[in-house]
């Protein structure tokens, strides 16, 4: 099984526990080829269990209506990547809430996205709030930027989303905001954070007031999750480390050495859909494992597989657009064969 159960309930105990268990963890995951295939396969099966069947009995929207909060003057690619990835994974509708200036640009990338030019308006919070009851997950941050007025609106949107119990994936500049004010997300059980290297360090230092121990990734993710009230955290990197403060999963699905920008956006958009599916399926379908951990593992594995397949075709010229073209085939290969 690719899961470690934590023995103690507090950060101090976990700190002692993690080094002792790391050997077990690493043996259980993919560092040792003998164990990797079987153990990864166990988690893949849990991901397969949460995927809703395609039937003729469903109506449009049931398999996912995903909102993306992001898109500003500088960044229009990131919210597009997240939204189109959510559709390609299997969501029925995606809504991008961005600034007025960014909206026509994002619309022009794809007719498949619904784009709301509201994020910099005086009524932004109310405008997004009216959509919240119809959204299954909100992905907050891709291409959001760090403008104070915009972030102030996003604070309001986070508060309204929590009050309505909307699941949240927080990425990119959404994590910048959380690092300024961790209480915005602390203790909200339906949140998943997806920091890259920099975002993780920033958040860790803001919350734990300590530099990250770069020799102890698993312990660091576990401790940050606990300090934030057991939020699910995905630390992206050479291997993705995922924890809800109780358990640690590692995803080391083969990707490639190509590190073009936008891969994290593909991950957060995909995760938006998988979070919806996982929460709908519940823990009976995940053998008691936190459904958000299963969703996170699925999104990481999928992103890395897209990276691998795109790289096989395009090599050094691989971009995130090439990876998005692989979402369908990669999903099928990992979860439907
Ligand atoms: N096409 C688009 O529209 C895209 C838009 N995007 C959007 O951009 C916004 C900002 O996001 P972000 O990720 O660039 O910001 P941030 O957290 O400051 O990190 C950047 C700094 O971290 C460093 N660094 C990174 N990894 C590291 C490592 N492993 N180890 C060490 N250092 C590392 C690296 O430092 P450097 O090497 O440059 O010194 C880099 O300068 C956000 O809205 C996002 O969504 C992107 O989604 C891409 C596609
Ligand atoms: N060194 C690595 N080797 C293999 N895969 C990696 C490596 N670093 C990151 N990844 C994978 O790339 C994906 C995106 O992670 P990354 O750290 O690039 O996010 P990001 O910086 O937020 O991306 P973005 O440019 O979209 O903002 C994840 O699926 C992660 O597993
Ligand atoms: Mg990113």
- For ligand 1, atom 37, the nearest C-alpha belongs to 198
Q: Say what the pLDDT of residue 11 is.
A: 33
| CB of 196 sitting under 6 A from ligand 1 | yes
Does the annotation list 183 as a binding residue?
Answer: no
- Can you say how many angstroms the Cα of residue 22 is from the centroid of all Cα atoms in its chain? 24
This complex has an ipTM of 0.96
Number of other residues whose CB lies within 10 A of the CB of residue 22: 16
Interval between CA 38 and ligand 3 midpoint (Å):
31
Measured CA distances, 136 to 164, 166, 205, 274, 278 (Å): 11, 7, 31, 10, 11
- For ligand 1, atom 4, the nearest C-alpha belongs to 78
The residue among 56, 66, 53, 54 whose CA lies nearest residue 92 is: 66
Q: Say what the pLDDT of residue 337 is.
A: 80
257 alpha carbon, closest ligand: 2
Q: Say what the pLDDT of residue 66 is.
A: 98
Does the annotation list 215 as a binding residue?
Answer: no
Does the annotation list 9 as a binding residue?
Answer: no
Q: Say what the pLDDT of residue 232 is.
A: 98
- For ligand 2, atom 27, the nearest C-alpha belongs to 264
Query: Mutate which of 74, 239, 255 to test ligand 2's pocket (most atoms within 8 Å of Cβ)?
Result: 255
Q: Say what the pLDDT of residue 40 is.
A: 73
- For ligand 2, atom 10, the nearest C-alpha belongs to 237
Residue numbers in the chain where pLDDT is lower than 50: 1-38
Report the C-alpha gap between 208 and 35 in whole angstroms.
Answer: 34
Does the annotation list 240 as a binding residue?
Answer: yes
The residue among 333, 279, 273 whose CA lies nearest residue 308 is: 333
Return the SS3 of 24: helix
| CB of 64 sitting under 6 A from ligand 1 | no
- 117 phi and psi angles, rounded to 5 deg: -85, 65
Measured CA distances, 9 to 36, 109, 230, 242, 293 (Å): 28, 47, 11, 18, 18
- Tell me the per-residue pLDDT of 165-213, one tens digit each, with 9 for 90 and over: 999 999 999 999 999 999 999 999 999 999 999 999 999 999 999 999 9
Given strand 248-251, what is the order of strands in its sheet?
A: 114-117, 93-98, 65-69, 137-140, 168-170, 191-193, 232-235, 240-243, 248-251
Report the C-alpha gap between 291 and 46 in whole angstroms.
Answer: 9
Contact 249, 296 (CB under 8 A): yes
């Amino acid at each position: 099984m690719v899961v470690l159960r934590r023995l103690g309930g507090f950060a101090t105990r976990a700190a002692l526990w993690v080094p002792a268990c790391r050997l077990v963890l690493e043996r259980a995951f993919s560092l040792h080829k003998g164990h990797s295939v079987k153990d990864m396969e166990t988690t893949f099966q849990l991901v397969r269990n949460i995927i809703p069947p395609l039937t003729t009995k469903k109506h449009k929207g049931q398999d996912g209506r995903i909102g993306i909060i992001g898109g500003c003057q500088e960044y229009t690619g990131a919210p597009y990547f997240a939204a189109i990835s959510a559709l390609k994974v299997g969501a029925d509708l995606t809504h991008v809430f961005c600034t007025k200036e960014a909206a026509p640009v994002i619309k022009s990338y794809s007719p498949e996205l619904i784009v709301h030019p509201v994020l910099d308006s005086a009524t932004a919070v109310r405008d997004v709030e009216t959509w919240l009851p119809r959204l299954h997950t909100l992905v907050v941050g891709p291409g959001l930027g760090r403008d104070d007025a915009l972030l102030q609106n996003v604070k309001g949107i986070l508060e309204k989303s929590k009050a309505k119990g909307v699941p949240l994936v927080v990425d990119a500049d959404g994590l910048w905001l959380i690092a300024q004010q961790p209480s915005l997300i602390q203790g909200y059980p339906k949140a998943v954070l997806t920091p890259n290297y920099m975002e993780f360090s920033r958040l860790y230092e803001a919350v734990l007031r300590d530099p990250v121990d770069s020799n102890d990734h698993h312990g660091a993710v576990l401790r940050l999750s606990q300090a934030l009230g057991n939020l699910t955290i995905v630390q992206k990197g050479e291997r993705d480390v995922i924890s809800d403060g109780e358990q640690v999963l590692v995803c080391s699905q083969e990707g490639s050495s190509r590190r073009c920008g936008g891969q994290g956006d593909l991950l957060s958009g995909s995760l938006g859909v998988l979070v919806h599916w996982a929460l709908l399926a519940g823990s009976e379908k995940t053998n008691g494992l936190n459904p958000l951990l299963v969703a996170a593992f699925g999104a990481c594995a999928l992103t890395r597989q897209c990276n691998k397949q795109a790289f096989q075709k395009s090599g050094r010229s691989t971009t995130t657009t090439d990876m998005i073209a692989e979402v369908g085939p990669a999903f099928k290969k990992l979860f439907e064969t």
